[in-house]
Amino acid sequence: GLIAFAGENYNQLIFLGFLLMVTIVTLKTNRLSSFIIKFFHKKSHKFIKAFKIRFNYCFSPSVFLQMFPLSLLIWWIQGLSFFLLVQMFYAEANLLVCLGIYCVSLLAGPISLIPGGLGATELSLIYLLVQLGLGSSSAIVCSITIRICTLWLAMVVGLVSIVFLCFNTSDELED
């Protein structure tokens, strides 16, 4: 039934089925799954400990009260950037409407439960911009541009932070 549904792409479906079977067999094999769990547990112990320390620090009341206004400022700057970008394509754009479109679209991403809101955020941006009066090609350009400048820049900063966190050998992380 699924192969008929897949049409010409049945090779991809067979490959995904094979991967699923290999994963299930691997997880069902006690010896192999125990080895995998122990391997990652040993490698991740230091990272998890560092993450817990940093997490508790970030959500301490003093740090949280400093960072929350900064987060609001960053959202405001991103929304303003979105407005300026939209204004290049649509001169009648309104700042508050563009801020609303941007914030609603950013919230649509996590609601979709897709990591990073990939696809859901862009589609909601495009849909709302078209409803605003932009052409579909201009809405697509605005959506992709703002996501590259916001999401992917944040991803790079996050990856650099993870690398720093993994290689941090401070005394607080020693057993």
Distance of CA 65 to the CA centre of its chain: 24
Q: Which residue, among 115, 111, 91, 92, has the nearest Cα to 103 in the 3D structure?
A: 111
Dihedral, 119, 106, 77, 63 alpha carbons, nearest 10: -120
pTM of the predicted protein model: 0.60
- Indicate the pLDDT class of residue 163, thresholds 50, 70 and 90: confident
pLDDT band at 140 (very low <50, low <70, confident <90, very high): very high
**84-110 pLDDT tens trace:** 999 999 888 899 999 989 988 988 888
The string of pLDDT tens digits covering residues 56-83 is 777 788 888 888 888 888 888 888 999 9
